[in-house]
Amino acid sequence: MEFTDVVRRRRMIRRYSSRPVDPAVLDRVLQNALHAPSAGFSQGWAFLVLDDPEDVARFWRSTAEDGLEAPDGWLQGMTTAPVVVVPLSHKDAYLDRYAEPDKGWTDRDEARWPVPYWDVDAGMAALLMLLTAVDEGLGACFFGVPGERLDDFRAAFGVPGEYRPVGCVSVGYPGDDDRRSPSLRRGRRPVEEVVHRGSW
Ligand SMILES: Cc1cc2nc3c(=O)[nH]c(=O)nc-3n(C[C@H](O)[C@H](O)[C@H](O)COP(=O)(O)O)c2cc1C
C-alpha cells in the first residue's frame, strides 16, 4: 500500500471480526515498532503481547474501568479484539543511557528532560504498530489503561513497577459493525489553524 494511503486510511477500529491474526503478521507489526526512533537510541520500551484468548480476557478483567458485568458498547466492541499489545515505557533506561559518557548526565536529574522522552518513544513505537496494522489489512485502536486499574494490570501480568503502559493497542481484522468515535464530529483542524510559518 502507498504510504500516503496507509496514513489516510488509518483510523481507530473498536470492533473486530472473529478472523484470527496470523502470528507472522503480528510479528511484522512488532518488528516495525522496533524501528521507531528513540532518544539516544535508548530503545527503553517493552511490549506486552497478548494473543491468547485467556490472556486477552485477563487483560480486560484487570483493566476494565467498571468491570465486565455490564459492558458498555465500547467495551463490548473492544473485547472482540483477538490481540492486545501494551507498549510500556521505562524511564530508568533513559536515565541510565544519558548517564553514559557521550551524554554525560551523570546526576540523572529528570529536570534536564524537556519532556518525558521515555513516553514519547513508546508512543512513536505505538504509532508504527497502528500504521503497520493498516498496511497489513488489519485494524487497531490505541487506548489507555485507567489510572486506578494500573496496579491490577501490573499484578495480572507480573509487570515490574518501573514499567508504565503508555497505552494499549488492540489489533484484529475490522468487524462489520464498527462504530466511529463521536469525537470525530469535531472535524480535523485545517492546516492554516495548526501551522505557524516563520513565527507564531
Ligand atoms: C493518546 C491517545 C489516547 C486515546 N485514548 C482512547 C481511548 O481511551 N479510547 C478510545 O476509544 N480511543 C482512544 N484514542 C483514539 C482517539 O479517540 C482517536 O485517535 C481520535 O478520535 C481520532 O480518530 P482516528 O484515530 O480514528 O482518526 C486515543 C488516542 C490517543 C492518541
Task: Give residue 105 CA to ligand 1 midpoint distance, Å.
Answer: 35
Rounded to the nearest integer, the mean pLDDT of the chain is 97
Q: Whose CA is nearest to atom 24 of ligand 1?
A: 11
C-alpha cell at 182: 463521536
Task: Give residue 184 CA to ligand 1 midpoint distance, Å.
Answer: 10
Q: Whose CA is nearest to atom 3 of ligand 1?
A: 143
Q: What is the reported pLDDT for 179?
A: 82
Q: What is 43-109 written as a DSSP string?
A: --EEEEEE-SHHHHHHHHHHH-TT-SSS--HHHHHHTT-SEEEEEEEEHHHHHHHHTSTTT--TT--
List pLDDT tens digits, range 45-94: 999 999 999 999 999 999 999 999 999 999 999 999 999 999 999 999 99
Ligand 1: nearest atom to the Cα of 166: 1
Q: pTM of the prediction?
A: 0.97
Q: Which of 13, 65, 74, 142 to mutate to test the pocket of ligand 1 (most atoms within 8 A of CB)?
A: 142
Task: Give residue 11 CA to ligand 1 midpoint distance, Å.
Answer: 9
Ligand 1: nearest atom to the Cα of 74: 11
Q: Whose CA is nearest to atom 11 of ligand 1?
A: 143
Q: What is the reported pLDDT for 47?
A: 98
Tell whether the model's pLDDT for residue 180 goes beyond 90. no
For residue 13, name the pLDDT band (cuts at 50, 70, 90).
Answer: very high
Distance CA 126, CA 106 (A): 29
